[in-house]
Amino acid sequence: MKIAIAGGGIAGTAAGYLLSSQGHEVTIFEQAQHCGPIGAGILIQPIGQSVLKSLGIYEEIYQQSAQLNFIEALKHSGKRLVQLEYQRLRTDLYGLGVHRGRLFSALLTLAKQGGVVVQEDTRIVAYHLSESGVSLELESNDQTEPFDFLIATDGARSGLRLASGIVHHSVEYAYGALWTTGVCTAVDDRLFQVVEGTKKLAGLLPIGNRECSFFWGLTANQFDRFQQQGVDVWKSEVLRLCPQAEELVARINSLEELTFTTYRSVSMKSWSAERIVFLGDAAHPTSPHLGQGANLALEDAWAFAKCLKQETDFRTACLLYESLRKNKIRFYQHITRWLTPFFQSDGIVKGWGRDVTLPVMCQVPVLREQMLKTLCGFKTGWLQSKVGER
């Protein structure tokens, strides 16, 4: 089949490679002028690692990542809030902290080597259905030839989601994050976070090469205020909460060197319609507090390719895909939506409740096991067993 993919991010490149290797003719349309290695650090969980293994790029990514044995969150007082060690679930488990750019470069190379055509600097603004297929309307006012179907992997702010007319519910969070990456040797074996109530959050995610991805939670209004007050006010506030970030923060000379991102959570009634299917963040963006977005995007790509191999008719493949993925995605959407205000929101009650319950939950074996399974991406583990079979 002739397949168009809207958006060459993690889900788009992974799906492109998998479908091309099944013999389909795949074109990725990417709005960026050049597909480059940009982005923050991401935590690839054991489930995401399984997909990388099945794509054949795990070793390459592993060599360029940091192996993380646990996640740790402290209160500003230094008291421990969370400590979850992967090995407590299984001795061979760990997280991989990786620069999104490195993961993306490996996926893009794979897709191109697999015969996928990547059309950069091409923004899709709409799509049109006809007897002969689905054509894409581009920002340049051109219209593409018809494709058999369209895979929408255009990310959290997907324009195709709206264009599809599929009913969806969207929540914008007031809080987002400022983030950057740089050399930081204070933390190298764990995802490290410090919180003060629910209004202050700082974190360091090691990503290999002695580097960390640093993030600082705040609202757009707070970001505006820091821009007026200047970078030094921001730096002193950061170092008061998270002195571990000093090496990295010391090199920042202006807030322009950081990227500000806000989050949204969207649930769609269905992930497919006539000749279109949504994967990755385009289908189910969440806040990054549970660190699952890229993992779910990789799994989506893998699962959809598997479904299209089994059911050669597009519509039937979409229905199979939805039935297989629904429970897991809904679980991660709910838990992330529930968890987010306990880490970033206004008010004091949630922070207080979190500070009392989380340390206890980490100590109770049965609860700790469930938390670790959730973190690893093992809840509703259909894919886990299927990837293992390959």
Ligand X SMILES: Cc1cc2nc3c(=O)[nH]c(=O)nc-3n(C[C@H](O)[C@H](O)[C@H](O)COP(=O)(O)OP(=O)(O)OC[C@H]3O[C@@H](n4cnc5c(N)ncnc54)[C@H](O)[C@@H]3O)c2cc1C
Interface with ligand X by CB under 6 A: which residues? 6-12, 29-32, 40, 42-43, 100, 123-124, 153-155, 159, 177, 179, 215, 261, 280-282, 288, 291-295, 297
Structure tokens at 73: 């969150």
Q: Are 153 and 6 in contact (CB under 8 A)?
A: yes
State the minimum distance, in angstroms, from the CB of residue 389 to ligand X: 23
Q: Which amino acid is at 368?
A: R
State the minimum distance, in angstroms, from the CB of residue 151 to ligand X: 11
| DSSP string over 351-385 | HHHHHHHHHHHHHSHHHHHHHHHHHHT-SSTHHHH
State the minimum distance, in angstroms, from the CB of residue 173 to ligand X: 11
Cβ distance to ligand X smaller for residue 152 or 358: 152
Cβ distance to ligand X smaller for residue 150 or 308: 150
| DSSP string over 98-139 | EEHHHHHHHHHHHHHHTT-EEE-S--EEEEEEETTEEEEEET
Q: Are 138 and 31 in contact (CB under 8 A)?
A: no
Mapped onto helix, strand or coil, the DSSP state of residue 348 is coil
Cβ distance to ligand X smaller for residue 47 or 307: 47
State the minimum distance, in angstroms, from the CB of residue 251 to ligand X: 19
The Cα–Cα gap between 235 and 85 comes to 31
Cβ distance to ligand X smaller for residue 220 or 348: 220
- Please enumerate in sequence order all residues whose Cβ is within 8 A of that of 181, keeping only pairs 6 or more positions apart, or say none: 40, 41, 99, 207, 211, 212, 213, 214
Task: Output b/e per residue, 306-321; b: 16+ Cβ within 10 A.
Answer: bbbeeeeebeebbebb
State the minimum distance, in angstroms, from the CB of residue 88 to ligand X: 20
Burial class (CB in 10 A: 0-12, 13-18, 19+), 215: buried
State the minimum distance, in angstroms, from the CB of residue 45 to ligand X: 7
State the minimum distance, in angstroms, from the CB of residue 17 to ligand X: 13
Q: Which amino acid is at 269?
A: K
State the minimum distance, in angstroms, from the CB of residue 356 to ligand X: 26
Cβ distance to ligand X smaller for residue 33 or 228: 33
State the minimum distance, in angstroms, from the CB of residue 245 to ligand X: 15
Cβ distance to ligand X smaller for residue 54 or 213: 213
Cβ distance to ligand X smaller for residue 74 or 201: 201
Helix spans in the chain (H): 10-21, 46-55, 58-63, 100-113, 159-164, 220-229, 231-241, 246-249, 293-310, 314-343, 349-363, 365-376, 382-389
Cβ distance to ligand X smaller for residue 133 or 280: 280
State the minimum distance, in angstroms, from the CB of residue 96 to ligand X: 10
The Cα–Cα gap between 166 and 146 comes to 21
Cβ distance to ligand X smaller for residue 9 or 133: 9
Cβ distance to ligand X smaller for residue 9 or 341: 9
